[in-house]
Structure formats: C-alpha cells, structure tokens
A = this chain, B = another copy of it.
C-alpha cells in the first residue's frame, strides 16, 4: 500500500485530505496500464469508460474537422486524461486520445469513479475544486484565442506547457492554437 501511487495520492491531497479508507478504496480500484508511442488510447467510436492519470509520458486528445486532426490538449505527468463529456454522460463524443510518447498511467473505470463519488463525499469536493482549476485554464485559453497574434498565441502555449512544449510535434501545436503550421514554423524560425 506504500504503493507506486504516491503521485496520484499527492495529487488528490492538493485538494482534499485522503482518509485511509479512501486511500485503500482508490488503491483497490486503480489499475496500471501502459501505451506505446502512437498507440490509440481512446476511440471516438466508443463511449469513454476510463479515466487515466498519467504517471510518465504524454497523451493527446484530438478530433477531426474536414478530415484533419485538430489537437485539443496535451495531458502529461500528474494529470487526468479522458473524454470528459463522454465519460460523464456515457455517450459517444468526438474526441480521440492517443499517446505522443510511451506512457504509463493509472486507470480508473467509470463505474469505480461512480462508486467513489457515491461513498466518499470528499471525492465530490475534490472534483469540484480540481475542475475549478481546469476551468481557469480554459478561460485563459479563450482569452488567448481572441485578439492575439499568432506569435502571442504561441507564447501563451509555451507558458501553459512550459516544461513540455518541446515534446509536442509542431503540427499538433499548430492545430491546438488554431493557426497554420507554416505560420507556426515561421514564428519559431525567427529568434
């Protein structure tokens, strides 16, 4: 039980105190999975029934528009990754997930997640508070997408993904930012 799940527990403890009961409930329900670079983690053809907490590596969520992949975000170490709407509503959504790098993650099934919410009110609080954090990021991103030049968008991306930005291929960054990859290449070129 002094498991390899330290980082996962530490993540929860940023928001709530973890009782021993909750710790062991988590421990028994969380499994370990790994993916190879390029592997599909979630297919939009199916309902998303799993949430991944990344231990090591890098995922990407994306969807298709006019036959092209549009990257949505890039969850890395110590972050959750899933198809949020699909997971919550148990219906299909547009998002795919794949692994940008070889990735090790913890996996929580949606049923187990439901169990935890039903039996541990502090899990509800954790969800509310951690969603608040993500909420803030989304709002910043919305601001960054309005009234900014391509250069400013790229700068904002580097801030947001400070330690990580060089691990993400240029084309994916471009679609994440909503600019042409040629433009991004030129921006990177100067300075």
A binding-site residues for B, Cβ under 8 Å: 65, 70, 72, 84-85, 88, 117, 121, 124-125, 127-129, 131-132, 134-136, 138-139, 141-143, 145-147, 175, 177-178
Interface of A is mostly: helix
State the number of copies, please. 2
User: A88, A131, A132, A146 — which one has the most chain B CB atoms within 10 A of its CB?
Assistant: A146
Asked if residues B138 and A142 are in contact (CB atoms below 8 Å), the reply is yes
Asked if residues B146 and A146 are in contact (CB atoms below 8 Å), the reply is no
Asked if residues B147 and A145 are in contact (CB atoms below 8 Å), the reply is no
CB neighbours (8 Å) of A131 from chain B are 128, 131-132, 135
Asked if residues A84 and B142 are in contact (CB atoms below 8 Å), the reply is no
